[in-house]
Amino acid sequence: MIKESKGIKAGERAAKILTFTALTAVALLILVPFYIIVITSFKHNTESMGVVFTWWPQEGFTIEGYRNVLFSDASGGGSLSTILAGFKNTLVIVVPATLLGLFVSAISAYSFAKIPFRIKNKMFSVLLATIMIPGVIMLTPSYLLYDMLGFVDTRFPLMVPGMFGSAACVFFMRQYYFGIPTDLVEAAKIDGLSHIKIFFQIMVPLSSSALIAQGVLGFVGGYNDYFGPLLYLQSPAKYTLQIALKNSVSTYGYDWQTVMSGAVIALIPTTVIYVFAQRFFIEGIATSGLKV
Amino acid sequence: MNATVKKRKKIKKEEVVGVVLAAGPLLGFFIFGFIPMVLAVFMSFMKIRGFSFDGARLVGFENYRYVFTDPKFGKAMLNTLYAAVSMPVSIVCSLFIATLLNKKVAGTKVFRTILFLPYVCSVVAITTMWKWMLNTDFGIINEILKRLGVEKVPWLTDSTYFMPSMLIMGVWGGTGFGIILYSAALGNVSKSLYEAAKIDGANRRQQFFSITVPSISPTTFYLFVMGLIGALQDFVRFQIMGGDGGGPGESGLTAVFYLWRMGFKNFIVQGMGMASAVSLILAALIIIITIINFKVSKYWVHND
């Protein structure tokens, strides 16, 4: 009897060790590429182009790559380097679009969850159906329309559509608002509060974690976007960070230490946000199945 | 009397407020989605030069005829399907990894943080990273292969190896999303099912295939549908990795890549009309696949 339970325990332990080893192996597969770009960014150029790959800089560390990418390169024509200007341009586009879009989606979700009106179900079904429509159809006509209206090479096509919110975000927030008791809304209505006031004074504070989750996802999606800026931005002064990073590969050709420095800088903001807001992230993705 | 009128007024007001507050995203879709969609249908029957309707004329099904007889379109579709192979591989990998994470060994939190990491990284950064690692002369991959006694592989410069390179990168970058969804799904599988199975003497493997896999089938279905829709529209990473030419021998020319070149690069000769025809063909394909998936899902997805 005792022997048997010991056998099971030993078996469980072996299984745990095996699981741990497998997870370590997979984690290494993910981490090694990140390690390689970080270590390459600190290598002297002669070494990164060396015949033998080195896991650790043999000729010592250098921050020349970072200096190139942050300070000396100004091919964008401004006072800032291309990467820094790109970072600024990205924030100018993404921050207002994300915040306003989040607000519009959330208040729409509140209405769908808590305000009774007759055509609610019809409106919601239409909204859900829009998720199924592949974005590729909108590519050519949108561009033509923007071009005719004079919005090509402006930030307008990258900002304004997002400011109307997104169906997926409405869906996520609506689920969340269903979880908040309707009695709370009814009580506030009796007290004479308007729906706008109920939303801001009661719903926003109660749903802050869900709002953060959606805000973070929206920000990361906008920050990482490449296709939109590729289509619509033409003058280098307006290039976003991702476009600047893509271009640095051709500008610096074989200067890999500089290219990798740019990549590391571009990855830092999303990685930091992710590590600190991991809980919100996973919650947001797991509940809505959103793809950034 | 007065009270009922007031009440009715209030209800009416609530009707209006409800619709107005809810309408934002639908209004956005109407302006930036519906109008362009209708326009795309018209454009696909037109010959358009450049980016304006000046001088555009109706050409009937000419654009569709051109696309369907263009050998490059066939090639682009085949390339797209080839690239889509990474999707089922990612799904299997992410299920395997999520199962390991679900065992809650020491350090699970740290592992989870690391494994989700590629998910938040931009396509540009990931592609740049792999471009360096797959570099024929200086890349780490060939360095490792050399130590194993394998000849240098021209990963990104040879048409045979270009797509396999993209597949490797696709699996590496695409597995995190599946892990997140599967982790959530595995956490929701009822413990009592496993208890019952244990009493019935089912081993781990039987438990996995007859309890776990059916219980998480909605997630698998979702990943499959979203993955397929994404794969049919895959383009950006190919343009970053292979340049505007579509990689060596156009081996990385996907369907959307083909469309983009037509409408945005060869906009005088081929133009937006033809590109719209391609986008409608793709959209039709995606919608058909989605509908088939929904029909078929009845037989293997367990919703309860």
pLDDT tens track for B173-218: 999 999 989 998 998 888 888 889 888 888 888 988 989 999 999 8
Summarised one tens digit per residue, pLDDT across range A26-50 is: 999 999 999 999 999 998 888 877 7
| A31 and B CB contact within 8 Å | yes
**CB-based contact A138 B40, cutoff 8 Å:** yes
Shortest Cα–Cα distance, B160 to chain A (Å):
23
Minimum CA–CA partner of A40 in chain B: B132
A 195-214 → B contacts, CB under 8 A? 195-196, 199
Tell me what pLDDT residue B237 has.
94
**CB-based contact A19 B105, cutoff 8 Å:** yes
In which band, very low, low, confident or very high, does the pLDDT at B226 lie, cut at 50, 70 and 90?
confident
Which residue from A24, A137, A242 is facing B124, i.e. has the nearest CB? A242
Tokens 């997002």 locate to A162
Collect all residues of chain A within an 8 Å Cβ-Cβ radius of residue B27.
164
Look at the alpha carbons of A137, A140, A146, A148 in this order and tell me if their dihedral is positive or negative. negative
Summarised one tens digit per residue, pLDDT across range A165-208 is: 999 899 989 988 998 999 999 999 999 999 999 999 999 999 99
User: Residue B71, exposed/middle/buried by CB under 10 A (0-12, 13-18, 19+)?
Assistant: exposed
Report the pLDDT averaged over residues A267-281.
89
Tell me what pLDDT residue B12 has.
78
Tell me what pLDDT residue B294 has.
82
Summarised one tens digit per residue, pLDDT across range A53-111 is: 788 888 888 888 898 888 876 555 556 788 899 999 999 999 999 999 999 999 999 99
User: What residue ranges do the domains of chain A occupy?
Assistant: 2-69, 72-288
| A142 and B CB contact within 8 Å | yes
Tell me what pLDDT residue B5 has.
65
CB-CB contact of B293 with B221 (8 Å): yes
Tell me what pLDDT residue A12 has.
82
Taking domain A72-288, whether its CATH number is 1.10.3720.10 is answered by: yes
**Residue B9, Cβ neighbours under 10 Å: how many?**
10
Summarised one tens digit per residue, pLDDT across range B121-153 is: 999 999 999 999 999 888 899 989 999 999 999
Backbone angles phi, psi at B111, to 5 degrees: -60, -45
Report the pLDDT averaged over residues B221-230.
88
pLDDT at residue A292 tops 50 = no
d(CA B32, CA B29): 5
Count of positions (residues) in chain A: 292
pLDDT mean across residues, chain B: 90
Tokens 């682009």 locate to B76
Collect all residues of chain A within an 8 Å Cβ-Cβ radius of residue B138.
48-50, 53, 256
Q: Of A131, A101, A86, nearest to A224 (Cα)?
A: A86
Tell me what pLDDT residue A90 has.
96
CB-CB contact of B239 with B250 (8 Å): no
Collect all residues of chain A within an 8 Å Cβ-Cβ radius of residue B53.
144, 148
Domains with residue ranges and CATH for chain B: 2-62 (no CATH), 65-300 (1.10.3720.10)
Percentage of chain B exceeding pLDDT 90: 62
Summarised one tens digit per residue, pLDDT across range A223-265 is: 999 999 999 999 999 999 999 999 888 777 778 888 999 999 9
Tell me what pLDDT residue A251 has.
77
Tokens 């990855």 locate to A267
Report the pLDDT averaged over residues B60-80.
96
Collect all residues of chain B within an 8 Å Cβ-Cβ radius of residue A123.
19, 22-23, 26
In which band, very low, low, confident or very high, does the pLDDT at A290 lie, cut at 50, 70 and 90?
low
pLDDT mean across residues, chain A: 88
SS3 for B183?
helix
d(CA B154, CA B152): 6
Tell me what pLDDT residue A21 has.
94
d(CA B55, CA B57): 6
SS3 for B145?
helix
**CB-based contact A137 B236, cutoff 8 Å:** no
Minimum CA–CA partner of B275 in chain A: A140
Collect all residues of chain B within an 8 Å Cβ-Cβ radius of residue A223.
122
pLDDT at residue A6 tops 70 = no
CB-CB contact of A152 with B49 (8 Å): no
In which band, very low, low, confident or very high, does the pLDDT at A1 lie, cut at 50, 70 and 90?
very low
SS3 for B58?
strand
Q: What's the per-residue H, E or C state across chain A?
A: CHHHHHHHHHHHHHHHHHHHHHHHHHHHHHHHHHHHHHHHHCCCHHHHCCCCCCCCCCCCCCCHHHHHHHHHCCCCCCCCCHHHHHHHHHHHHHHHHHHHHHHHHHHHHHHHHHCCCCCHHHHHHHHHHHHCCCHHHHHHHHHHHHHHCCCCCCCHHHHHHHHCCCHHHHHHHHHHHHCCCHHHHHHHHHCCCCHHHHHHHHHHHHCHHHHHHHHHHHHHHHHHCCHHHHHHCCCHHHCCHHHHHHHHHHHCCCCHHHHHHHHHHHHHHHHHHHHHCHHHHHHHHHHHCCCC
Backbone angles phi, psi at A226, to 5 degrees: -120, -40
